Amino acid sequence: MLSFDTNGNFQDNYKFLIGSILPRPIAVVSTVNEDGSNNVAPFSFFTAVSSKPMIVAFSPINRAENGQLKDTPRNIFREKEFVINFVTEEIVEKVNKTATNLPYGEDEFILSGLTPIDSEKVKAKRIKESPIHFECIFRDHLSYGDDPGCGRIITGEVVKVHVNESIYEDGRINTDLFAPVGRGAGHDWILCDHRFEKTRNR
């Protein structure tokens, strides 16, 4: 077995994270810029935290070039709200475009061709083409530093869930109909098209 210390450069640690923790779900986070325009970006360091209150968490990492905060956390700290949109195979190309590092204030909805629609409880828009939306109110922030590669946890309370009828059956989201897409190592994306079931005795 090979063994590695983690006190080298952040890029090496990053490779172990993205090569080990997979497939990762993808949160496509929409927020509002200071001038009222939209911002959209995908984040695969993303998970569920609590059912009630319903809390989710994701981790924007400081920019590799200069350690600066990405636009998404910058907007969330000011506006205190955001929307998480989920990814299916049909919108992978467009979602990938939203990861482009545009100058602050430029709208990734326009760049990607995704369609913004109004939310009910927050100002941030939802992505029409996404089958599930979580409207979130900012809850907590934990930062692990200001250098390039340092991450932070942002949690949000989900105050409204929207699910497209086409993937909702018998009171739950049907995984096969949803057909979510995950993130792998490097530039890999992963289709969830080989599901199996295991029941538990207790």
Ligand X SMILES: Cc1cc2nc3c(=O)[nH]c(=O)nc-3n(C[C@H](O)[C@H](O)[C@H](O)COP(=O)(O)O)c2cc1C
Answer for which of 30, 38, 44, 85 binds ligand X (CB under 6 A) is: 44
- Gap between the Cα atoms of 29 and 79, Å rounded: 13
Q: Of 65 and 165, which has the nearer Cβ to ligand X?
A: 65
Under the criterion CB under 6 A, does residue 158 sit at the interface with ligand X? no
Under the criterion CB under 6 A, does residue 38 sit at the interface with ligand X? no
- Gap between the Cα atoms of 25 and 80, Å rounded: 23
- Gap between the Cα atoms of 117 and 84, Å rounded: 13
- Gap between the Cα atoms of 108 and 145, Å rounded: 27
Q: What residues contact residue 21 under an 8 Å CB cut-off, 6+ apart?
A: none
Under the criterion CB under 6 A, does residue 131 sit at the interface with ligand X? no
The SS3 call for residue 25 is: coil
Under the criterion CB under 6 A, does residue 42 sit at the interface with ligand X? yes
Helix (H) or strand (E) segment spanning residue 13: helix 10-20
Q: Of 53 and 105, which has the nearer Cβ to ligand X?
A: 105
Answer for which of 38, 39, 112, 155 binds ligand X (CB under 6 A) is: 39
Q: Of 94 and 183, which has the nearer Cβ to ligand X?
A: 183
Site residues, ligand X (CB under 6 A):
26, 39, 41-45, 59-61, 70-72, 96, 99, 101, 183
